[in-house]
Structures are given as C-alpha cells and as structure tokens.
C-alpha cells in the first residue's frame, strides 16, 4: 500500500485558534523550532468519540512547554476544547490526536526571547501501532545504541520533540534489522524505555517497571499500573539492570500509540506473553472503549 504523505491529505488542522485546510497548514522554514528543537507535543487516542485522558495530556503539554521555557498561549481547557473540535471537524470518532506547541520564526538564534509560541492540532486515522497478529505473540526488540540523556543535560521529563531524535535513529536501526523497536538504557546503564513506550516486566507474578524520575512518566503507564493494582497484582518501581532480564518471564510496553503490547524478545533475552501481559492488554482495551 502506497504511503500517503502527511502534507498531502484532505481535512482540517487547528492552528492558533482557526481551522486551516490540511494542505495549507504550514510554517516558515526559519521557524525556531525547526532549527533549535523548541517544540513539545502530545500523542492521544480517541475511542468512540472520547479522547482518553484528554486533560492529563493537555496538562502535560503545558508542563513540557514550561520546561522548555515557553508558555502555551492557550489554557488547558482551551486546548482540550480545540482537540475535541478538531476531531469533530474531521468527522472522526476513533483517531490519533497530535497537539503540537512550538516557537515561531520571529527570531533565528539560540536566544528565543522574541519568539511567539504557536499551537497546532491534527487528527488522523491510526490503527494498531504494531501489527495486531504480531502483537499478541510479542514483538521483537534489539538494544538501542543511544541512551536516554542525563537530566543535567536536557529536560528529560518533557515530551520535547528534540529528545526524540535518538529514538528515531534507534527505531530506524532496529527496523532495518527486522525488529519492531529498540530498548534504551538510561545514562547510567539501567533499563529505561523503548523508543516511544514505557516497559514492564513480570517475575513470579509481580510486575517490575523502571523508575521514571528522569524520563517521561507515560499516561498509559500510570493507567496500567492502576489497572494491575486493581487486579491485585503487585507493581514494583525500581532501577532494573539489563542482566536482570534473564529472570523475567513476561515483558510488555505501554503508550498511547502502543497501548499495551507484549514483547517476546529484547536482544539476547526471551519472554512469553502470559496471563499478566495479555490480561492487561485486554483490560486496557476494555477500559478505553468503555469510557468512550
């Protein structure tokens, strides 16, 4: 199936308070964000007409912008409504929602004191992030070459566009070698996350997941922890060394795009999707669709 470029589609995109025809939703080549990475974004899913955890996403967008030293020109409530309005304008009830906040072209230098913040929101159809048939069997990951940065070197808890370049490089490398994704370590060598999803492991009926003090604390991650604990499953948040993966029986990823995705392989380590990972995958699916 031919890939349809994202700049050549029908529809509307919300930009700074107005709806712009999809193909006309553009910014200048000298936009600060394009040169210096001054942009933040969210990835949200609409199920049956309701965007899951919408306000939590809008609040995180605002926090991310503040961490990059700029403020959204709209309130959280206004961003919430704009997301809903964009979905309605596109006539969608099941969709992926992408709010983006970025600094414009007023000044092109490292300094951005004179740059205006802009917000755009686009929505589109997006089925399963991973192939559904492969997903139940567990996807294969390799180890990423790149590591999540030291929090003293970057705003690591922001969902900032610039922080994803090493994720793109890692995922591209993995896909070229036949893997679905890559697992990244943090700057100290502890297991951190996949390129766009948090990770969980199962050992003797107990779930273990990395501490996220210095990486993105995914909204889906928080939801799945709540689901697991509500089912009586213990969840331990701690630092996990790579060599510990040999002691885990199950592994799964979580994210708004990935939802809950079992993993069968990370490098030299093997896992078998079981009752916990498959059960939480199904429970999460029921939750997001029940709230729709």
End-of-domain residue from the set 86, 103, 124: 124
Report if residue 4 sits inside a domain.
Answer: no
DSSP category for residue 161: G
Report if residue 7 sits inside a domain.
Answer: no
pLDDT for residue 291: 55
pLDDT in tens, 128-165: 666 667 777 999 999 999 999 999 999 999 999 999 99
Are both 143 and 261 inside the same structural domain? yes
H/E segment holding residue 169: helix 165-176
From the list 99, 115, 110, the residue with the least C-alpha distance to 43 is 99
For this structure, is 159 an active site residue?
yes
Are both 282 and 193 inside the same structural domain? yes
Report if residue 1 sits inside a domain.
Answer: no
Q: Which two tokens stand for residue 74?
A: 């709209």
- Ramachandran area for residue 16 (φ above 0: left; ψ -120 to 50: alpha; else beta): left
Q: What is the distance, to the nearest Å, from the Cα of residue 15 to the centroid of all Cα atoms in its chain?
A: 22
Mean pLDDT per 10-residue section of the chain, whose length is 292 residues: 86 98 97 98 96 98 98 98 98 96 97 97 82 81 98 97 97 98 98 98 98 96 98 98 98 96 98 97 93 48
Are both 73 and 136 inside the same structural domain? no
H/E segment holding residue 196: none
Report if residue 69 sits inside a domain.
Answer: yes
- Asked if residue 252 lies in contact with residue 228, where contact means CB atoms within 8 angstroms, the answer is no
Count CB-CB contacts under 10 A for residue 286: 10
Are both 217 and 110 inside the same structural domain? no
- Asked if residue 55 lies in contact with residue 48, where contact means CB atoms within 8 angstroms, the answer is no
- Of the candidates 135, 159, 171, 176, the residue annotated as catalytic is 159
SS3 per-residue string spanning 210-267: ECCCCCCCCHHHHHHHHHHHHCCCCEEEECCCHHHHHHCCEEEEEECCCEEEEEEEEC
Are both 112 and 173 inside the same structural domain? no
pLDDT for residue 2: 67
Report if residue 2 sits inside a domain.
Answer: no
Going by their DSSP bridges, the two strands 259-266 and 139-143 should be labelled as: parallel
pLDDT for residue 292: 42
End-of-domain residue from the set 124, 156, 171: 124
> Could you give the angle at which helices 54-67 and 219-230 cross, rounded to 10 degrees?
130
End-of-domain residue from the set 124, 141, 160: 124
Q: What backbone phi and psi angles, to 5 degrees, belong to 270?
A: -120, 145
pLDDT for residue 61: 98
pLDDT for residue 136: 79
**E strands present in the chain:** 12-15, 18-21, 39-41, 44-47, 50-51, 95-103, 117-124, 139-143, 181-185, 191-194, 198-203, 206-210, 235-238, 250-255, 259-266, 269-270
Q: Which two tokens stand for residue 134?
A: 């492969």
Distance, CA of 38 to CA of 57 (rounded, Å): 19
């Amino acid at each position: 199936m031919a890939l349809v470029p994202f700049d050549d589609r029908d529809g509307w995109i919300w930009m700074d308070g107005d709806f712009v025809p999809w193909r006309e939703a553009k910014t200048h080549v000298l936009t600060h964000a394009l040169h210096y990475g001054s942009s933040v974004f969210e990835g949200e899913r609409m199920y049956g007409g309701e965007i899951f955890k919408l306000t939590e996403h809008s609040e995180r967008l605002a926090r991310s912008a503040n961490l990059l030293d700029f403020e959204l020109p709209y309130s959280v409530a206004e961003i919430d409504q704009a997301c809903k309005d964009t979905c309605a304008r596109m006539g969608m009830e099941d969709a992926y929602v992408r709010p983006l906040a970025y600094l414009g072209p007023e000044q092109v230098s490292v300094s951005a004191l004179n740059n205006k913040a802009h917000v755009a929101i686009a929505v589109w159809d997006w089925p399963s992030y991973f192939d559904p048939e492969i997903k139940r069997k567990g996807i294969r990951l390799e180890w990423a070459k790149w590591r999540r940065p030291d929090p003293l070197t970057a705003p690591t808890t922001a969902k900032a566009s610039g922080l994803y370049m090493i994720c793109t490089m890692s995922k591209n490398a993995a896909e070229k070698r036949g893997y679905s994704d890559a697992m990244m370590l943090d700057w100290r060598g502890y297991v951190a996350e996949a390129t766009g999803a948090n990770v969980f492991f199962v050992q003797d009926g107990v779930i273990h997941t990395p501490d996220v003090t210095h990486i993105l604390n995914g909204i889906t991650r928080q939801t799945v922890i709540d689901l697991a604990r509500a089912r009586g499953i213990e969840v331990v948040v701690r630092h996990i060394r790579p060599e510990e993966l040999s002691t885990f029986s199950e592994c799964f990823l979580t994210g708004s795009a990935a939802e809950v995705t079992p993993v069968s392989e990370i490098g030299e380590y093997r896992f078998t999707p079981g009752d916990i990972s498959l059960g939480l995958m199904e429970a999460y699916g029921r939750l997001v669709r029940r709230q729709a």
